[in-house]
Structure 1
């Protein structure tokens, strides 16, 4: 049996043992905040789930769920990190993350740690945690969205519902729409925005450079802005992957770009210093902007989107 399978089997065994022992810990449980309100049934991608009217101990296992919770004024008791040793978030207010326990990696949540927090609601996505759904559901009511990325606004609506924060959500959406209008104005108005092509380029270690299409978080924000998009990425899909020798395919009036990992190893340094990059219209016009990869790639939610729009407005005005 592989190391990963051994570790997962051990974790599941520990969850089962802790679940049984939890039955005898009534005194400790009495000290925990109780979920308020009557139970409600919500429809999810995994079927109908009964959730507490006002959950008090929420565990989130995806980046958009963490953004949603914090945006709506809810401090989860547990959350995963993107990588080992990484913070829960680099863009969400640190004060609002205080007290949140780390419960493993986004790719491998620690089921034993989750159970130990005695949550009354768990939020994640099918794309991330379908393999863990049965075990998570034994711990607490578990609500999955289909995936993250382009569906972040629909996911937020579900998150707000299960968190009992529908009224707060309405204001969040209104603020986002206001920011969209402000950035559109910074671009010179709706007509000027529509006539300005905007691209997003991401340099990554160990793989080709990605030109992001519409079925992505950043792609959805650009579509909300109704800016022009280069023809080769203005389509359904995740990304157009290109080698440094094809970076001319990133041609656009405005280019935002980020780097995951070491800039040299991700070929950002050599690509942006090369002749093909320097021939791009955005480069010649001084319209290329390096941005924070942690925010623009992992800031999936209304707080992240709001900060991205603020940065766009500053750079384009």
Structure 2
């Protein structure tokens, strides 16, 4: 794999419903939570403002439907674009083979250009003055990854209402729902998720699956590999298409988090011992050649059978756009 992994990088509302007020006044924590969730749903459905959004960094009141959104998370920008939220500027990462020449992810860079999205700041180096100069009415950011801005949450909140999300433990579909409510684009969020779900279902019906199970991994040569777990967005697409994931031997992991598990190069043959297909994330055919030439992997079933598949450079961070690219690639690979 190229150096893309470093460059790329995871609600409640007010209500005047008397039933909600009675539940909250009862002092029952479960009733209070239910009333708060119901209030959020009511406000989202009726389009009322203000709304209080609960997120990983706290609770944020959004006083009115935002018209000028900035994104400090390049990973979340794709989902904002997918739900047609009015994002005017986004943080950019370093220019690489997974970005355009501005540092926007290539899967949605053309959409950003069409909509006039500006570079908020380059190289994921937070610039509070640049944010303030745009006078946003909503700031969207992340608590995880290279684009995380959680340490500056207070400063960001002093500029505009700020929502920070964990895209590492949430699917893009869940993020779309949250961002849809925060931006007033609930209908757009629902529509884009339904469109993607239909594509996934249609593709699952159309493809012929290879021998199972499979492993999705980010291969780093002598530095080992990062295996994607069942909760990762990549794995969710694979299982949604009917693929069965091999269980990684967690006792051999060198590092572990909810969506990925790291393994050394020496342990990789054991990790892949049962996998009939190896899906290389953020990879090209050149990376497949490097993988299959690795002497440590010479006896891996996926290598001996020639079932090592590159999932493309956009597969590292999954949003609506890269997810669609991935499903279409798998449809071409196994469609006939």
Same structural fold, with TM-score higher than 0.5 when normalized by the shorter chain:
yes
- 1:103 aligned residue: 120
**Residue of structure 1 aligned with 2:225, choices 197, 209, 227:** 209
Q: Which runs of 5+ in 1 are unaligned?
A: 1-35
CA–CA distance in 2 between the matches of 1:205 and 1:273?
A: 10
- 1:163 aligned residue: 183
Q: TM-score, normalization: structure 1?
A: 0.74
- 2:315 aligned residue: 296
CA–CA distance in 1 between the matches of 2:282 and 2:166?
A: 27
CA–CA distance in 2 between the matches of 1:43 and 1:246?
A: 40
- 2:168 aligned residue: 148
- 1:11 aligned residue: none
CA RMSD of aligned residues (A): 3.1
Q: Which runs of 5+ in 2 are unaligned?
A: 1-46, 96-100, 251-255
Go from structure 1 to structure 2 and tell me whether the alpha carbon gap of 1:224 and 1:152 turns closer, same or farther (over 3 Å shift). Answer: same
**Residue of structure 1 aligned with 2:326, choices 287, 305, 308:** 308
Q: In the TM superposition, what is the alpha-carbon distance from 1:233 to its structure 2 partner?
A: 6.4
Task: Answer yes or no: is the 8 Å Cα contact 1:244–1:271 preserved in 2.
Answer: no
CA–CA distance in 2 between the matches of 1:260 and 1:289?
A: 9
- 1:4 aligned residue: none
Q: In the TM superposition, what is the alpha-carbon distance from 1:226 to its structure 2 partner?
A: 4.2
- 1:119 aligned residue: 136
CA–CA distance in 1 between the matches of 2:75 and 2:206?
A: 27
Q: In the TM superposition, what is the alpha-carbon distance from 1:174 to its structure 2 partner?
A: 1.2
**Residue of structure 2 aligned with 1:173, choices 182, 186, 193:** 193
Secondary structure of the corresponding residue to residue 109 of structure 1: coil
**Residue of structure 1 aligned with 2:67, choices 56, 59, 65:** 56
CA–CA distance in 2 between the matches of 1:43 and 1:78?
A: 23
Q: TM-score, normalization: structure 2?
A: 0.70
CA–CA distance in 1 between the matches of 2:237 and 2:268?
A: 25
Go from structure 1 to structure 2 and tell me whether the alpha carbon gap of 1:175 and 1:202 turns closer, same or farther (over 3 Å shift). Answer: same
Mapped pair 1:249 → 2:276: no
Go from structure 1 to structure 2 and tell me whether the alpha carbon gap of 1:204 and 1:106 turns closer, same or farther (over 3 Å shift). Answer: farther
Runs of 4+ in structure 1 displaced over 6 angstroms? none
Q: In the TM superposition, what is the alpha-carbon distance from 1:205 to its structure 2 partner?
A: 7.5
Secondary structure of the corresponding residue to residue 43 of structure 1: strand
